[in-house]
Chain A
Amino acid sequence: MKINIGLEIHCQMTGLKSKLFCSCEADYRGKQPNGNICPICLGLPGTLPLLNKKALENALMLSLALNCKIPDVVSFYRKNYFYPDLPKNFQITQYNSYQISSIGSGGTVEFDHKKVRIRRIQLEEDPGRLVYESGIATSNYTLVDYNRAGVALMEIVTEPDFDDPKDVKLFLNKLVSVLEHLGTCDTKLDGAVRCDVNISQENKKKVEIKNVGSFKEVEKALVFEISRQKSFGIKGIEVKSETRHWDDIRRITIQSRTKEEEQDYRYFPEPDIPAAYLGNELINSLTKQMPELPDARKSRFVENFGLSEQNAQILIDEKDTADFFEESLKLYDDAKEISNWFVTDLKVFINEANGIRSLKIKPSHIAELVKLVNQSTISRNTAKQILQQIVKSGEMPSVVMNNLKATKISNEEALIQIVDDVFAKETIAVRDALKNEKAINFLLGKVIQSTRGRADPKLTTELIRKKIASIST
């Protein structure tokens, strides 16, 4: 069964200072209801939209980064529909049916050696927020907070080029990294990204899943929907063309109540905003200002630092991680050893914390940690223990090390004593080790365990080998 999946992604431009069409603050989060509004974003009679040119620049940067074609002139359209979160009962957006009005179109993005085509990238305004005091069905009225109304959104629409939810996830990872590198959208902020997904099986009707609230949920929603459609196939039921939404608590898609066919958006050019002439000068200057993007950064990591493709990919997937890695490198020049931490132990903490910046750890910590291991001051196992503590406490590794008195036991005499003790206790294992070389590892583990990880593994192994050899002769 061939499946086609397309995405329609909305990202708030959290990097802006003001809204898309007025000077209210772009950062509406945490403000008292309707404390971030003005006559323009409340749509009062007689007000006119005032286009934020930085929003235009940001969307242009993204369009360039996703290899889109840029028209000479971009323009805005009105999408007309009634809804209580929409102050003007129309949304100012862009529209390509009558002319190319959007900032980017016809782009391509490569990810994991695959390609997806970008249909368009456009700018539009976010609506306000509806609040129901006692649930949507039972409330006698709705409360509206317009603080979000007019915040700049970028809409990114792909062609239906995906055929596997895993690829969707990889693509979204890449998109997030590009957005982070451009500094246009902090995808980690609550509500900063939303995704609509459309799925159609070959020769079957298209199903849309609206408003998946985070990129992480997209893959799950797709997996569910595909299996739902497959089970329909098995039962011989036809898949309807419909709009569904993702219930992230019950982890299922549900049919939406609003009927799409009743909508007729009556798009027409926004008369209050003249078309914006971009010109080569702007494009050239933005191209010059373009920061290093994830692909280039990955290549640099591979070529300059000798990292594996896989490790480089993990590092650049999140800009903060890559930045952190490079900052650590400035303090201690061992790319391979430092990168190893990011792709193993530290990665677990990063994922748990939803980003490295949420941890207490600083680049100097990682630099020092690697240095201590390289100088054989601590064992790798001890370093792992120290890491566990410093991500939470923010203490320097050397401080933790001293507190633990965790200096690696590399004193031969002391270790011989411990090895002797283990041999005395583990007589069966010793017998095994005489027959089977691999059983040595068990004894090594016991020694390390009894020193709480402080025994130098190299030296200990050597000592165990010597002792086995001396017994066997």
Chain B
Amino acid sequence: MITMDLLTSSAADIVTQIKKGYVSTEEYIAKIFDHIKKVESNVHAYISLNDLAIERAREVDSAVKRGEKLGKLAGIAIAVKDNICTSNMKTTCASKILEHYIPPYNATVIEMLEREGAIIIGKTNLDEFAMGTTTEFSRFKETRNPWDIERVPGGSSGGSAASLAAGETTLALGSDTGGSIRCPASFCSVVGLKPTYGLVSRFGLVSFANSLELIGPMCRSVYDTALMLNCITGRDSMDHTTLDVDTKDYTATITQGVKGLKIGLVREMISDVDEHVSKTIHDAASKFESLGANLNEVSIDSLQYALASYYTIAMAEASSNLARYDGVRYGIDMGPEGFEWNSYYTKVRSNFGDVVKRRIIIGTYVLSSGYYGKYYLKAQKVRTLIKQEFASLFKTYDLLIAPTMPILPFKIGEKTMDPLHMYMTDIDTVAANLIGIPSISIPCAFTDGLPIGLQIMGDHLSEELLIRAAYAFEEITDVKKVIV
């Protein structure tokens, strides 16, 4: 037996040891559960834990003993955002509406990860239906930022990010509609990737805004991110919006560096940000230069309209997606008998939290007759405009960099009263969702004990390049990613 800290090691290292039989999967998983028991009362990252995880760990161990061929993630603990369907576990979306809901099927990504031997250890907290930037709007609990439990972990995949930073898992899955992977990755000092729209199947991801969102890996290292991405990409017959692309080994080119790459620092994304953030990202830009990249500041004029476009589209789609929760077929049951149907629906749907109700109402507004042209259609046109501007930049630049978040992790409760102010914090992340390009957030630095994330964006399907640049940066940057 070798000595390694199973709570903080990378998936790549652990899986190697498991396959060699040097690490017992059962011990490793049990250790994680012990640690969860110890820190959950401070972190509140999980909504539910998987009772079958230990059993699955034993299966991996006996497969190792029998010398069977093992998957890429054999035995690795993975935390799953609770808006991704799991057939043996509740999938609540942190909503009262789905509090006891157990889906009868697995999301495609779950099937793929389990096929590679990954073990789901639990379902993580989020803002209700992934609508939020802080994970304060979960209907069950407030997840805390492990680096400062007075502060938010970011959101909406706050539970996944916090569980990684607190050593409560080795890998995690998040979903990103307007920054929901990258924001908490930035706030919790972990790596989070939102892949190209269509690269990962959405089948089994409970829809908030279908045309914007995707499932993506969240990890404590760029290498693990590549390893995990290897397992979840590809066309899915259950999702027409997936792309016809071959699966790749994103670890194969990971060490190729950034020498000679043209990188643009996006002016509009850094101009109005917190001064610590601004300084840190400018420093990061210099680091890329020192690694041999050509760096320039670039401007994308239409970005000033990105938030309005994003929120219009996201709320419109949400208002329609969330119509299905009426308490008849599944989810919350308030006993329909005796109710007139409209009043039953209204009673059931009043169990949505404020944030969700408000977004449904605004989404209804922008789609209602007379306003479609004024809001929804315009938002789509702005989206096209932004797409065009980015496309022309990508003719010259290989990658674009920017802060992930314009501010540092803030105190819990600080911004909950002002929705518009809260939306503004998404200013740097939404563009990637609007146009479907990949974007990764990687730990960049700490200032006053609080993490700052660097965002790297690339053209459609440039994940390989993104991962290369992120890895090169990570290699020369010493930032803590876990606190146990």
Contact, CB under 8 Å: A142 / B341: yes
Indicate which residue in A43, A50, A264 contacts B240 across the interface (CB closer than 8 Å): A50
A314 on the B face (CB < 8 A):
no
Nearest-neighbour CB distance to chain A for B201, whole angstroms, equals 9
Contact, CB under 8 Å: A48 / B203: yes
Given A84-B341, A90-B323, A141-B337, CB of A46 within 8 Å of CB of B206: yes
Which residues does chain B contribute within 8 Å of A89, judged by CB atoms?
A: 323-324, 326
Nearest-neighbour CB distance to chain B for A246, whole angstroms, equals 24
> Could you tell me which residues of chain A, from 137 to 172, have a CB within 8 Å of some CB in chain B?
140-142, 144, 146
The B interface is mostly helix, strand or loop, or mixed, namely loop
Q: Which residue of A lies closest to B326 (CB)?
A: A89
A362 vs B323: C-alpha distance in the bound complex, in angstroms?
53
Q: Which of the segments B43-51, B111-119, B282-290, B328-336 contacts the partner chain?
A: B328-336
B320 on the A face (CB < 8 A):
yes
Interface string of A77-90 (1 = CB under 8 A from B): 01010101001111
B103 on the A face (CB < 8 A):
yes
Contact, CB under 8 Å: B203 / A46: yes
Indicate which residue in A90, A144, A268, A273 contacts B328 across the interface (CB closer than 8 Å): A144
A394 on the B face (CB < 8 A):
no
Q: Which residue of A lies closest to B201 (CB)?
A: A48
What is the interface residue range for chain B against chain A?
Answer: 35 or more
Contact, CB under 8 Å: A82 / B323: yes
Given A47-B203, A50-B240, CB of A80 within 8 Å of CB of B323: yes
Contact, CB under 8 Å: B237 / A264: no
Interface string of A21-48 (1 = CB under 8 A from B): 0000000000000000001001111111
The A interface is mostly helix, strand or loop, or mixed, namely loop
> Could you tell me which residues of chain A, from 70 to 104, have a CB within 8 Å of some CB in chain B?
78, 80, 82, 84, 87-90, 98
A306 on the B face (CB < 8 A):
no
Which residues does chain A contribute within 8 Å of B202, judged by CB atoms?
A: 46, 48
A271 on the B face (CB < 8 A):
yes
Interface string of B310-332 (1 = CB under 8 A from A): 00000011011001101011100
Which residues does chain A contribute within 8 Å of B209, judged by CB atoms?
A: 271
Contact, CB under 8 Å: B104 / A271: no
Contact, CB under 8 Å: B376 / A46: no
Contact, CB under 8 Å: B203 / A44: no
Indicate which residue in B85, B330, B345, B367 contacts A268 across the interface (CB closer than 8 Å): B367
Which residues does chain B contribute within 8 Å of A49, judged by CB atoms?
A: 240
A239 on the B face (CB < 8 A):
no
B207 on the A face (CB < 8 A):
yes
Contact, CB under 8 Å: A87 / B329: yes
Given A51-B240, A89-B323, A266-B368, CB of A46 within 8 Å of CB of B210: no
Nearest-neighbour CB distance to chain A for B92, whole angstroms, equals 10
Indicate which residue in A50, A266, A267, A271 contacts B364 across the interface (CB closer than 8 Å): A266
Which residues does chain B contribute within 8 Å of A80, judged by CB atoms?
A: 319-320, 323, 367
Given A45-B103, A45-B207, CB of A88 within 8 Å of CB of B337: no
> Could you tell me which residues of chain A, from 258 to 303, have a CB within 8 Å of some CB in chain B?
264, 266-268, 271-274
Given A46-B207, A266-B320, CB of A140 within 8 Å of CB of B337: yes
Contact, CB under 8 Å: B369 / A45: no
Given A90-B320, A271-B317, CB of A44 within 8 Å of CB of B240: no
Which residues does chain B contribute within 8 Å of A140, judged by CB atoms?
A: 337-338
Nearest-neighbour CB distance to chain A for B406, whole angstroms, equals 28
Contact, CB under 8 Å: B376 / A268: yes
Which residues does chain B contribute within 8 Å of A42, judged by CB atoms?
A: 329-330
B372 on the A face (CB < 8 A):
yes
A272 vs B321: C-alpha distance in the bound complex, in angstroms?
11
Contact, CB under 8 Å: A50 / B93: no
Contact, CB under 8 Å: A84 / B328: yes
A51 vs B326: C-alpha distance in the bound complex, in angstroms?
25
Contact, CB under 8 Å: B85 / A46: yes
Nearest-neighbour CB distance to chain B for A146, whole angstroms, equals 8
Q: Which residue of B lies closest to A37 (CB)?
A: B329
Contact, CB under 8 Å: A45 / B91: yes
Nearest-neighbour CB distance to chain A for B112, whole angstroms, equals 15
Greatest chain B CB density within 10 A among A78, A141, A272 is at A272
B238 on the A face (CB < 8 A):
yes
> Could you tell me which residues of chain B, from 184 to 221, have a CB within 8 Å of some CB in chain A?
202-207, 209-211
Which residues does chain A contribute within 8 Å of B93, judged by CB atoms?
A: 45
A46 vs B107: C-alpha distance in the bound complex, in angstroms?
8
Q: Which residue of B lies closest to A34 (CB)?
A: B329
Nearest-neighbour CB distance to chain A for B80, whole angstroms, equals 13
B377 on the A face (CB < 8 A):
yes
Nearest-neighbour CB distance to chain B for A81, whole angstroms, equals 9
Contact, CB under 8 Å: B369 / A141: no
Which residues does chain B contribute within 8 Å of A82, judged by CB atoms?
A: 323, 326, 342, 345
Interface string of B438-469 (1 = CB under 8 A from A): 00000000000000000000000000000000
Q: Which residue of A lies closest to B84 (CB)?
A: A46
Contact, CB under 8 Å: B241 / A45: no
Indicate which residue in A84, A141, A272 contacts B241 across the interface (CB closer than 8 Å): A272
A142 vs B84: C-alpha distance in the bound complex, in angstroms?
32
Nearest-neighbour CB distance to chain A for B380, whole angstroms, equals 8
A84 vs B317: C-alpha distance in the bound complex, in angstroms?
21
Q: Which residue of A lies closest to B330 (CB)?
A: A44
Contact, CB under 8 Å: A274 / B240: yes
A44 vs B107: C-alpha distance in the bound complex, in angstroms?
12
Which residues does chain A contribute within 8 Å of B91, judged by CB atoms?
A: 45-46
Which residues does chain A contribute within 8 Å of B317, judged by CB atoms?
A: 268, 271
Which residues does chain A contribute within 8 Å of B229, judged by CB atoms?
A: none
Which residues does chain A contribute within 8 Å of B337, judged by CB atoms?
A: 140-141
A78 vs B207: C-alpha distance in the bound complex, in angstroms?
15
Q: A45-B330, A264-B369 are in contact. List 15 more A-B contacts (CB 8 A).
A: A44-B105, A46-B107, A46-B205, A46-B207, A47-B204, A48-B238, A82-B326, A82-B342, A84-B341, A88-B324, A146-B329, A266-B364, A266-B367, A272-B207, A272-B239
20 pairs, CB–CB < 8 Å, chain A vs chain B: A39-B104, A44-B330, A45-B85, A45-B93, A45-B98, A45-B206, A45-B207, A46-B85, A47-B204, A48-B241, A82-B326, A82-B342, A84-B341, A98-B372, A266-B367, A266-B368, A268-B376, A271-B209, A272-B207, A272-B240
Top 7 A-B pairs, shortest CB-CB distance: A89-B323, A266-B367, A271-B211, A271-B210, A45-B206, A46-B204, A46-B85
